[in-house]
């Protein structure tokens, strides 16, 4: 097998048949005739299909097996979403079309924003940001302009030590200075330390709810009050909203700005650089800072509004990743209010069930109960010379995607596991059994774990070299 379809097939086969010409031939300007071959692969239909199926089967994806990648919410992406988003009524649109011609698309944007407001309790959403990190940046820009208008020179953003690296990165990109708030023994924000850190230089308290350890900040009410009385805003990283849907509305507990990840919580495919969407929601007194254009409704017509006096401007061309909106909206409509709540309930039940089973063979720094995910630790296997990375590699041999590892940084040998609500009990049991088997192998045959994976198309890699030189990890000889 050779590398690409270009190299694999070039022997003049064809997958298409053009009928004999039964019209009179007319002269063809020789200038326009191609003088060199196209270089396109010449292949039969069956060979194309087999080539791509083979590639797909070498790859790992959510349609192939469980994908317990913590903090990534790798849930099943319903096919109906793709069907709807792929219909020509949506794919045939162009953002420069006249408002009158795209009333349906505008209505969808308007309705999706309204649904997100209902789910979160925020006053308004902008769908323009195209990733979670982009939403964070947009939120920080709103905070920056809010204090600029108020002529307050606040420079610090307080970020818990369990936060995603994107949080402090967004803070710095926006010209603020991040300051780390250490978590307490229980994995939650230490409110005594928070109290000491809060002052008239604090612009924002940026927290993740539930936090990245999968824990709900039970003092969130107090934290919000403390931040507000210091004159700061509260930003919520809502990438983990899967755990809160229909149960907690951030707007109701005093969050000022938040983002969602449609590509996590609302079932749109992600990973591999696919399109994302990180909508930003704000409370009423911050709506005038949102990016433009806004979609507005007058009577029963939809239109754009770009003259928001205090807007931070545009953060993306056009309106954001429209086809992601279509999928997320289809998902929300299909579930309805009660289905939305069931998502969170089942995500929480699945995570707690799995946490209990896994904790028989792996350490838990924070015993829970957890929300949608939990962080286990492989530190108990260190005595056999086995590390978390070996456990992760060995899982691949059993046909399971590895969890997130070595994150959050505050858990030694971390294994961050998020089963999501779309996995059945049988699948969770299988995963727990495999994890138990691997813990046994660590004791009995640590060398096997050091070599793992031993059954995948690509074996154990020098990861640094592979990241720098993709050719490095190609499993086949050229032209083989
Ligand atoms: C995934 C995630 C992000 C980043 O989202 P991207 O879409 O990858 O930019 C930020 N914060 C948390 C808590 C996340 O889980």
In CATH, the number for domain 79-335 is 3.40.640.10
CA pair distance 190, 226, nearest whole angstrom: 12
- Residue 261 Cβ contacting ligand 1 at under 6 Å: yes
Burial 59-78 (b: 16+ CB within 10 A, else e): ebebeebbbbbbbbbbbebb
Residues of the chain with CATH 3.40.640.10: 79-335
Whether residue 473 is predicted with pLDDT greater than 70 in this model: the reply is no
- Rounded to the nearest angstrom, the distance between the alpha carbon of 444 and the centre of ligand 1 is 38
Q: What is the pLDDT of residue 478?
A: 46
Query: What pLDDT shows up at residue 168?
Result: 97
Most ligand 1 atoms within 8 A of CB, residue of 140, 261, 274 to mutate? 261
Q: How far is CA 310 from CA 130, 139, 246, 292, 314, in A?
A: 22, 14, 32, 10, 12
Give the separation between CA 130 and CA 164, rounded to whole angstroms. 17
What single-letter DSSP state applies at residue 42? B
Whole-angstrom Cα distance, residue 65 to residue 304?
Answer: 43
Q: Is the CB of 74 under 6 A from ligand 1?
A: no
Of 5-9, 119-123, 295-299, the least confident: 5-9
The whole-number pLDDT of residue 474 equals: 61
* 117 Cα–ligand 1 center, Å: 20
Question: Looking at residues 214-219, what average pLDDT do you find?
Answer: 96
Q: What is the pLDDT of residues 219-271, one digit of tens each?
A: 999 999 999 999 999 999 999 999 999 999 999 999 999 999 999 999 999 87
- Which pLDDT does position 463 carry in this prediction? 81
- The pLDDT score that the predictor gives to residue 457 is 84
165-177 average pLDDT score: 97
Answer yes or no: is pLDDT of 130 > 80: yes
Find the 72 Cα to ligand 1 centroid distance in Å: 7
Nearest CA, atom 2, ligand 1: 239
Q: How far is the CA of 177 from the centre of ligand 1 (A)?
A: 20
Domain with CATH 3.90.1150.10 in the chain: 343-472
Helix (H, G, I), strand (E, B) or coil at 340: helix
Which residues are CB-neighbours of 79 under 8 A, at least 6 positions away? none
Question: Mean pLDDT lowest for which of 23-27, 97-101, 213-217?
Answer: 23-27
Quote the CA–CA distance of 199 and 254 in Å, as a whole number: 19
Name the pTM for this structure: 0.91
Which pair of structure tokens corresponds to residue 477? 């000889």
User: C-alpha dihedral over 233, 235, 241, 247, to 10 degrees?
Assistant: -10
Which residue minimizes the CA distance to atom 3 of ligand 1?
132
β-pairing, 124-126 vs 280-282, is antiparallel
> How high is the pLDDT of residue 466?
79
Percent of the chain with pLDDT over 70: 95
Q: Looking at residue 40, what is its pLDDT?
A: 81
348 CB-contact burial (10 Å; exposed 0-12 / middle 13-18 / buried 19+): buried
| Token pair listed for 102 | 């795209």
Express each pLDDT in 108-125 by its tens digit.
999 999 999 999 999 999
Instruction: State whether the beta carbon of 276 lies less than 6 angstroms from ligand 1.
Output: yes
Element (H, E) at 376: strand 374-377
CB-count burial class (<10 Å; 0-12, 13-18, 19+) for 430 = middle
Band of the pLDDT at 338, cuts 50, 70, 90? very high
The answer, yes or no, to whether any atom of ligand 1 lies below 6 A from the CB of 212, is: yes
Q: How many whole angstroms from 163 Cα to the centroid of ligand 1? A: 10
Q: Does the beta carbon of 259 sit less than 6 angstroms from any atom of ligand 1?
A: no
Pick the atom of ligand 1 nearest to 166's CA: 10
- Split at pLDDT 50, 70, 90, the class of 7 is confident
Looking at residue 37, its pLDDT comes to: 77
Ligand 1 close to Cβ of residue 133 (< 6 A)? yes
Q: Does the pLDDT value for residue 49 go beyond 50?
A: yes
- pLDDT given for residue 392 in this prediction: 97
CA of 346 relative to ligand 1 center, distance in Å: 21
Rounded to 5°, angle at Cα 233 from 230 and 237: 135
Q: Token digits for 323?
A: 């086809």
- pLDDT given at position 1: 46
Gap between the terminal Cα atoms of the chain: 5
Going by pLDDT thresholds of 50, 70 and 90, the confidence category of residue 480 is very low
Per CATH, the number for 343-472 is: 3.90.1150.10
Over range 291-314, report the average pLDDT. 95
């Amino acid at each position: 097998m050779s590398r690409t379809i270009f190299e694999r097939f070039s022997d003049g086969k064809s997958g298409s048949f053009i009928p004999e010409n039964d019209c009179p031939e007319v002269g063809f300007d020789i200038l326009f005739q191609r003088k060199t071959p196209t270089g396109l692969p010449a292949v039969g239909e069956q060979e194309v299909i087999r080539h791509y199926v083979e590639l797909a089967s070498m790859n790992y994806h959510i349609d192939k097996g469980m994908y317990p990648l913590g903090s990534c919410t790798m849930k099943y992406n319903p096919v109906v979403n793709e069907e709807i988003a792929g219909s020509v009524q949506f794919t045939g649109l162009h953002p420069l079309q006249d408002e009158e011609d795209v009333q349906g698309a505008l209505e969808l944007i308007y309705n999706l924003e309204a649904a997100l407001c209902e789910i979160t309790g925020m006053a308004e959403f902008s769908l323009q940001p195209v990733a979670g990190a982009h939403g964070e940046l947009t939120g920080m820009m709103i905070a920056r302009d809010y204090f600029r208008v108020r002529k307050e020179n606040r420079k610090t953003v307080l970020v818990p030590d369990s936060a995603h690296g994107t949080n402090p990165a967004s803070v710095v990109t926006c010209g603020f200075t991040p300051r780390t708030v250490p978590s307490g023994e229980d994995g939650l924000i230490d409110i005594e330390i928070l109290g000491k850190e809060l002052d008239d230089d604090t612009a924002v308290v940026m927290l993740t709810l539930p936090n990245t350890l999968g824990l709900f900040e039970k003092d969130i009410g107090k934290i919000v009050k403390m931040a507000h009385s210091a004159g700061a805003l509260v930003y919520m990283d809502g990438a983990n909203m899967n755990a809160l849907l229909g149960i907690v509305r951030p707007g109701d507990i005093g969050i000022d700005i938040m983002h969602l990840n449609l590509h996590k919580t609302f079932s749109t495919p992600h990973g591999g650089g696919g399109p994302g969407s990180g909508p930003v929601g704000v409370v009423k007194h911050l709506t005038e800072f949102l990016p433009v254009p806004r979609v507005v409704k007058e009577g029963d017509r939809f239109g754009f509004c770009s003259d928001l006096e205090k807007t931070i401007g545009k953060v993306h061309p056009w309106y954001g990743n429209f086809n992601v909106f279509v999928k997320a909206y289809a998902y929300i409509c299909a579930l309805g209010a009660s289905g939305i709540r069931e998502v969170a309930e089942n995500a929480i039940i699945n995570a707690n069930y799995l946490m209990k089973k896994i904790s028989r063979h792996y350490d838990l720094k924070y015993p829970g109960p957890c929300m949608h995910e939990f962080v286990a630790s492989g530190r108990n296997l260190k005595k056999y010379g086995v590390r978390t990375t070996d456990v992760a590699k060995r899982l691949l041999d059993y046909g399971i995607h590895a969890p997130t590892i070595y994150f959050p940084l505050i858990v030694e040998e971390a294994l961050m596991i998020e089963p999501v609500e779309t996995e059945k009990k049988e699948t969770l049991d299988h995963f727990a059994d495999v994890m138990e088997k691997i813990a046994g192998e660590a004791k009995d045959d640590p060398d096997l774990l050091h070599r793992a994976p031993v059954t995948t198309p690509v074996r154990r890699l020098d990861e640094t070299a592979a990241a720098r030189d993709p050719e490095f990890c190609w499993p086949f000889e050229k032209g083989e």
